[in-house]
């Protein structure tokens, strides 16, 4: 395929994708019967079952990359620690965290904040490599056998994934360099030809131009060749806009794989010098800083908006829950979160009154899982519902590890934990997000996670997708229930969300990571989709005991 033909194909593919996305931006709030999209029926619930009903404010903690607490659609629903005096440098509430006005940042320090970090597999590879790289398997001692088998899994995954990401980076970087250079040349050709004729160019008008110089003749030849591979008669400027979008997509891929190669799989990179904590002290708590936004709060800001973006201000978007406060607990870098930070984040959120904790993150290895287990058990004992994204690897998590999870190393599991897969808007074979993890035993239910429009930093809004978006959608539904039925326990919340899911009898979907069609009911243990309307109906029938103060 020639360069010009490739550009034309890219232009057509880009515009075809744009034309097929006709779903309303708030589809995930809408009702399947009334609006014909597979949303959570939030608007229907507010307009009927919940209309005129009293509610109480629910505190939801978002453990994530950080949140833009000044966003126009979030600032009124951000949690404020009333026992802390902002900016005085004193731990007024004596909880061990100075000036934690809107939450806490466990991946920051006196000198700044962590943005990129390594992957857990990289850290484990580096830790175990000196011990096992040169040893013969037959000479591994009995007490080290289990760790050696673990090392083999780590080694395989690290070396395979590093190579795959390096190859992808090299490929996309090569394409980006070639196409961005071609884009500059095509833009130049359009510019000089347009000036020579005094009007914008199109495919048809280009043919009629009689160039008066070698430069103009060459410019015409290039543009005619490029546009000749496109059927319709279009403006050259429109063509260039489409190609620019394609170049931007390539740049995003370059940045993504470049970050993986330069940071995620970099054995020499160490982010913790910024934090300044003692990496060997796993029980250390009072480290970090109070910057709850951090250098890149896009992910966390989007998550927060899904849960509870202001529904009353007539700007931006509407969140699912209408009476919440969002606590920002920063523990997730651009890389893999560390068990120590996750454990401390869960404990911090619990100690400061969060009743629901959203966790839109995950990884394949958890070397200090006992720390996270202890924190999860503590949260469960305090009546907290933990909502976790199932992950975006298209894996069956009944078979593949994804951490954190509900199962404890020493047996048993967290009774107030929900694991969430990602769904799309239409009830057809593409109903399940192609990226979503799934599991008949490990995943509880599915929730909207494809093309979700929500808040992003600096008063902007954007579509993102992933189980990272599905988890806060489910957490938002839980927050609605707890707000209107405040005497529900965390265990009851979990049971209601599970029991009230919408079922799809006989629906077959494409199993993530394959081309096979399987029953949707096989991908989670409820076989259903979360729904506010159905959950509220069920909650209204549950007898509860008022909580003690």
Looking at the annotation, which residues are catalytic?
A: 64, 299, 468
Pairing of strands 452-456, 417-423: unpaired
3-state secondary structure at position 13: helix
- Sign of the alpha-carbon torsion through 119, 388, 479, 459: positive
> Cβ of 60: how many Cβ atoms within 10 Å?
28
Long-range CB contacts for residues 170-179, cutoff 8 Å, separation at least 24 = 172/250, 172/253, 172/254, 172/257, 173/254, 173/257, 173/258, 175/250, 176/247, 176/250, 176/251, 176/253, 176/254, 178/3, 179/7, 179/10, 179/243, 179/246, 179/247, 179/250
How far apart, in Å, are the Cα atoms of 313 and each of 75, 196, 316, 324, 512? 11, 51, 8, 15, 38
H/E stretch holding 458: none
Best CA proximity match to 285, nearest among 273, 297, 275, 295 = 275
| Dihedral, 117, 434, 153, 155 alpha carbons, nearest 10 | -50
Which residue's entry shows tokens 């990401």? 165
Report in angstroms the alpha-carbon separations of 339 from 113, 370, 405. Answer: 18, 9, 12
Counting DSSP H helices and E strands in the chain, the numbers are 15, 15
* 419 CB-contact burial (10 Å; exposed 0-12 / middle 13-18 / buried 19+): buried
Greatest pairwise CA separation for the chain in angstroms: 88
> CA-CA distance, 406 to 408, in Å (whole number)?
7
DSSP letter at 100?
Answer: -
**H or E element, residue 76:** none
CA distance 467 to 482: 22
Residue 258, both tokens? 């470049």
């Amino acid at each position: 395929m020639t360069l010009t033909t490739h550009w034309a194909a890219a232009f057509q593919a880009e515009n075809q994708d744009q034309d097929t996305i006709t779903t309303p931006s708030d589809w995930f709030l809408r009702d399947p019967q009334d609006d014909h999209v597979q949303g959570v029926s939030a608007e229907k619930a507010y307009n009927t079952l919940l209309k005129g009903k009293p509610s109480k404010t629910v505190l939801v903690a978002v453990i994530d990359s950080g949140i833009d607490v000044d966003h126009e659609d979030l600032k009124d629903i951000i949690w404020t620690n009333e026992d802390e005096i902002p900016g005085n440098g004193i731990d007024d509430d004596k909880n061990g965290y100075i000036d934690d006005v809107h939450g806490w940042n466990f991946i920051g320090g006196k000198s700044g904040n962590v943005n990129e970090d390594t992957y857990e597999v990289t850290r484990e590879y580096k830790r175990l490599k000196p011990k096992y790289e040169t040893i013969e398997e037959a000479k591994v001692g009995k007490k080290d056998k289990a760790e050696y088998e673990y090392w083999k899994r780590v080694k395989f995954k690290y070396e395979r994934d590093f190579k795959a990401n390096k190859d992808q980076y090299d490929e996309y970087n090569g394409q980006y360099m070639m196409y961005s250079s071609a884009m500059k040349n095509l833009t130049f050709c359009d510019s000089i030809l347009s000036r020579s004729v005094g009007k914008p160019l199109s495919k048809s008008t280009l043919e009629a131009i009689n160039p008066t110089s070698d430069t103009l003749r060459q410019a015409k030849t290039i543009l005619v060749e490029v546009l000749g591979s496109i059927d319709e008669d279009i403006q050259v400027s429109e063509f260039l806009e489409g190609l620019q979008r394609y170049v931007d997509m390539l740049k995003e891929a370059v940045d993504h794989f470049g970050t993986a190669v330069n940071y995620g799989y970099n054995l020499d990179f160490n982010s913790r010098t910024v934090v300044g904590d003692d990496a060997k002290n796993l029980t250390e708590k009072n480290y970090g800083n109070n910057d709850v936004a951090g250098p890149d709060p896009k992910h966390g800001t989007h998550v927060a908006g899904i849960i509870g973006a202001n529904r009353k201000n007539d700007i931006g978007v509407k969140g699912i829950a209408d009476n919440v406060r969002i606590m920002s607990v920063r523990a997730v870098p651009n890389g893999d979160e560390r068990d120590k930070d996750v454990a401390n984040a869960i404990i911090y959120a619990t100690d400061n009154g969060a009743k629901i904790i959203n966790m839109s993150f995950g990884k394949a290895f958890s070397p200090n899982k006992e720390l996270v287990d202890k924190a999860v058990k503590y949260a469960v004992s305090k009546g907290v519902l933990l909502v976790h994204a199932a992950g975006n690897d298209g894996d069956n998590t009944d078979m593949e590890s994804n951490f954190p999870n509900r199962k404890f190393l020493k047996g048993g599991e967290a009774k107030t934990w929900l694991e969430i897969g990602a769904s799309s808007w239409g009830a057809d074979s593409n109903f399940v997000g192609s990226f979503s993890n799934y599991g008949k035993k490990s995943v509880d239910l599915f929730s909207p996670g494809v093309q979700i429009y929500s808040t992003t930093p600096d008063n902007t809004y954007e579509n993102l997708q992933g189980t990272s978006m599905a988890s806060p959608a489910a957490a938002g539904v839980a927050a609605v229930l707890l707000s209107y039925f405040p005497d529900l326990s965390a265990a009851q919340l979990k049971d209601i969300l599970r029991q009230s899911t919408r079922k799809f009898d006989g629906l077959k979907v494409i199993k993530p990571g394959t081309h096979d069609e399987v029953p949707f009911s096989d991908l989670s243990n409820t076989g259903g989709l979360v729904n506010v309307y159905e959950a509220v109906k069920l909650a209204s029938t549950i007898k509860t005991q008022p909580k003690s103060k």
